Amino acid sequence: MPGTDSPGRPGLGRLAGRGAGAASLAVLAYTLAFLLYAFARSGLTLLATVNEAAGLPATLLATWISLSIAALAIALLVWPLAALVGAGTALLIGALCAAWNREHAPGRALAIGAGACAAPAALIALALAASAGPAWTSSLAETLGFWLGLPLLVYIAAGGLASLELNRRLVAVRA
């Protein structure tokens, strides 16, 4: 197990903490990416409808600030769950790397990290596709894509990168 069988390897608490931290950053990054998209789309709509005399700058600013408040509040609600998933995933990746990547190969570390996240992500996607069945519509796909599809992609990418980073640190400690 990480932290118990090899000096220099991060302990379980530290590993879980790093995982929770990475997940928190991912939630923040996703929220900011959504806000940029929402700012652009709402901005274009407002530019086409409101003229400057009718208060375009104030309406634009109020819309953006209101969107930010609501999105950050939702991110705050999602954050504890994301941190928990991040901590658990970090422990899983640490254990898998300790078992299957003793030689610290970066490619294998990346594959283990991404794979550890992709497996549950694929299960969730398949379960949803099966349960939606004939009710599957483009609108539902849009909703699930935003709330689940893109976050799962971020999760897989973060898992791969975190595993690579863990591997890099272990190599540095060993050297």
Partner 1 sequence: MTRLARLSLMTAAGLVALLIVGYIGVVRPWHMRWGATDDEVAMRLAGDALAAPDAVASTRAITIHAPAATVWAWLVQTGQNRGGDWYSYEWLENLFAAGMRPVKGIDPRLQDLKVGDQLFMSMGAASNPIMAVRVQSLEKDRLLVLSGGWTFALMPLDAATTRLVVRYPMRPAELVHPALSFTIFEPAHFVMESGMLLGLKRAAEADPFLKYQPLPPDQPVEAQTHAGY
Positions that interact with partner 1 (CB under 8 A): 28, 38, 41-42, 45-46, 48-50, 55, 58-59, 61-63, 65-70, 72-74, 137, 139-140, 142-143, 146-147
Max Cα-Cα span within the chain: 69
| Min dist. Cβ of residue 139 to partner 1 (A) | 4
Minimum CB separation of residue 66 from partner 1 in Å reads 3
Quick count: other Cβ atoms within 10 Å of Cβ 109? Answer: 25
Three-state DSSP at 128 gives: helix
Could you tell me the smallest distance in angstroms from the CB atom of residue 71 to partner 1? 9
Please, how many CA atoms are within 13 Å of residue 24, restricted to the half-sphere of its CB?
11
- Which of 136, 140, 146, 111 is CA-nearest to residue 33? 146
Nearer to partner 1, 46 or 95 (CB): 46
Closer to partner 1 by Cβ: residue 4 or 138: 138
Alpha-carbon distance of 42 to 17, in angstroms, equals 37
Closest CB 4 distance from partner 1, rounded Å: 25
